[in-house]
Amino acid sequence: MRDEQQSAHLQQLTAKLRDRTAVIGIIGLGYVGLPLTLRYAACGFRVLGIDIDRTKVDKLNRSESYIEHIPSAAIEAARAGGFEATSDFTRAGEPDALIICVPTPLNAYREPDLSFVLDTTDALLPFVRHGQLISLESTTYPGTTEEELRPRLESRGLVVGRDIFLVFSPEREDPGNPHFETHTIPKVCGGSTTACLEAGVTLYGAAIDRVVPVSSTRTAELTKLLENIHRAVNIGLVNEMKIIADKMEIDIHEVIRAAATKPFGFTAYYPGPGLGGHCIPIDPFYLTWKARQYGLHTRFIELAGEINSDMPHWVIGKVTDALNQRGRSVRGSRVLVLGIAYKKDVEDMRESPSVELMEILRDKGAHVAYSDPHVPLFPRMREHRFELSSVTLTPETLASYDLVLLATSHSAFDYDMIRRYANLIVDTRGVYLERLPNVVKA
């Protein structure tokens, strides 16, 4: 009887996914959830988006975008196809598949904070029904799906793999990257059971060009961590190389460009003022925390994290030296920070090292301003507060600052004008290749 129930639920769900009559529920409509919503809507599915932020919900239902690289026209097209946003979790029983895309930050002790995932799961529990598929996309440590989500779901008497289906499929969005779209990025998927995996592969296969099945949810969880730890470690290496090269009066960017001509065995990574974004500064701590439960000390990963975490302070040291050579101290100096988003050509400020640079400069007594065409007004943030708006770059405004700190290299900046009119530039991104009298490379 149990096998028959599993077979009936699975066949019904996969059939609805294949013929696109299934309703897709996306929980969390941010940088991950909203692109996924639009993709399923474009594939002909009716999508119900659930988010606790009423402002987001209202904007979406007016066909307005709140993410810079997503046009409002795409949301309008999804709305025409039946997409609806809501803050009402009682509607969670309507979708055939629920995809959870909520944040997984760190707490004050740099330990995993699963409160968003667990609170969301608990809010969904009263409305989860037979035959539904639940997919977690939030980055987390290996074991989260089986140790946290599965017991909660089964506490209602629903057997995972028979009555409901549970998978982990890590998000791989890269906001602002013009070379990839949601559907062109391969999707890793691991299931709690073989039936769960079949359901998950069918769910994502209906909207994503290539689905990569793996043997378990734990494998899928560790895959995501490896991807981002790989980047964090390599960025840590090149940041350390930058410090060494600086002492030797060698331009690390010239070194990287030369090394990148090797057609095999080398991948170019570039230094910067620190790590930013919702993944790379955070994900290594999820693995190091979990590894301690197994009596393991992730020395290599933690060392890279220390190097990357120290980069803002190293940059401030270069700022201090540059001002000192001009007979000025940081205290009382007017400093303009160029670019406060965490990476080029996006408005996303999560974990941005630019904000840490601004705070250190402010604490040292500098008069800090910023210019960022993607962030016209400094947003409300949980840990950072500035009552500032973006400065418009003109020859006059550039000349009025003692130092310009180039922190994020947006394409919209006129770097030639900046070079000509800024009194002093500290370049953390290698924008200026040649040696210039008013440019210090950091």
**Residue 48, in any domain of the structure:** yes
**Residue 14, in any domain of the structure:** yes
**Residue 222, in any domain of the structure:** no
Pair (241, 336) in one structural domain? yes
- Tell me the pTM: 0.93
| Structure confidence by residue, pLDDT tens digits, 53-74 | 999 999 999 999 999 999 999 9
Provide the token pair at 169: 């499929």
Q: Would the pLDDT of 358 be above 90?
A: yes
Q: What's 38's domain CATH number?
A: 3.40.50.720
Strands, DSSP E only, in 186-270? 187-191, 211-214
Measured CA angle at 172 (ends 269, 199), to 5 deg: 150
pLDDT at residue 194, as a whole number: 97
Residue 181 in 3-state DSSP? coil
| Structure confidence by residue, pLDDT tens digits, 393-424 | 999 999 999 999 999 999 999 999 999 999 99
CA–CA dist 166, 419 (Å, integer): 55
Pair (147, 289) in one structural domain? no
Amino acid letter for position 76: E
Pair (331, 403) in one structural domain? yes
Give me the chain's average pLDDT, please.
95
Number of domains comprising the chain: 2
pLDDT at residue 20, as a whole number: 97
Q: Would the pLDDT of 115 be above 90?
A: yes
Domain boundary among 215, 240, 273: 215
Pair (162, 236) in one structural domain? no
Provide the token pair at 33: 């959830």
Contact 220, 214 (CB under 8 A): yes
Kindly indicate the confidence band of residue 5, based on its pLDDT and cuts at 50, 70 and 90: low
Pair (25, 128) in one structural domain? yes
Provide the token pair at 399: 């000349």
Q: Could you count the other beta carbons within 10 Å of the beta carbon of residue 228?
A: 21
User: Which one is catalytic: 101, 189, 196, 279?
Assistant: 279
Q: Would the pLDDT of 200 be above 80?
A: yes
**Residue 142, in any domain of the structure:** yes
pLDDT at residue 334, as a whole number: 98
Residue 137 in 3-state DSSP? coil
Q: Would the pLDDT of 153 be above 60?
A: yes
Q: Would the pLDDT of 123 be above 90?
A: yes
Pair (265, 178) in one structural domain? no
Q: Would the pLDDT of 117 be above 60?
A: yes
Pair (241, 194) in one structural domain? no
**Residue 225, in any domain of the structure:** no
Residues 6+ away with beta carbon under 8 Å from 18:
202, 206
- Interhelix angle for 283-292 vs 217-247, to 10°? 110
Is 101 known to be catalytic?
no
Pair (211, 236) in one structural domain? no
| Structure confidence by residue, pLDDT tens digits, 217-249 | 999 999 999 999 999 999 999 999 999 999 999
Instruction: Please give the residue range of the domain that contains residue 317.
Output: 231-441
Pair (279, 367) in one structural domain? yes
**Residue 404, in any domain of the structure:** yes
Average pLDDT over residues 165-178: 91
Q: Would the pLDDT of 1 be above 70?
A: no
| Structure confidence by residue, pLDDT tens digits, 310-334 | 999 999 999 999 999 999 999 999 9
Domain boundary among 215, 243, 278: 215
Pair (238, 210) in one structural domain? no
Pair (252, 154) in one structural domain? no
**Residue 221, in any domain of the structure:** no
- Interhelix angle for 72-80 vs 33-42, to 10°? 50
Pair (257, 135) in one structural domain? no
Q: Would the pLDDT of 108 be above 90?
A: no
